[in-house]
Amino acid sequence: MFAIVQTGGKQYNVTEGDIIKVEKLSNAVGDKINLEVLLVSDGKKTIAGTPTVKGAEVTAEVLSHGKGDKIVVYKYKPKKNERKKQGHRQPWTELKIASIKM
């Protein structure tokens, strides 16, 4: 059984037991959360939502929080001696998919 869930403006294809990194959530480590289900399938029957599937539920547990690798943002304007260098580390939350119910 798999489901397509949405969180943080992105969609993820998940099955039970998967560990995924999503945009940072404000929940504490160990919390159980429910995710929006856009599509759910058990191999024989597929249900697509408009926009979400009524009655379907994906439960996940928050495992940890962290930051991604640093990326360098360099802005430059030619002939003006304007340069700006910035670093950025995107925060994330790691989730473990506990259950998928249709």
Q: Quick: pLDDT tens for 76-90.
A: 999 999 999 999 999
**Domain count along the chain:** 1
pTM of the model: 0.86
Rg of the chain on CA atoms, in Å: 19
> What is residue 3's three-state secondary structure?
strand
Cα–Cα distance for residue pair 6/22, rounded to 1 Å: 10
Please give the mean pLDDT across all residues of the chain: 96
Across 51-67, average pLDDT: 96
| Host domain of residue 20 | 2-101
- pLDDT of 54 strictly over 90: yes
Cα–Cα distance for residue pair 7/22, rounded to 1 Å: 7
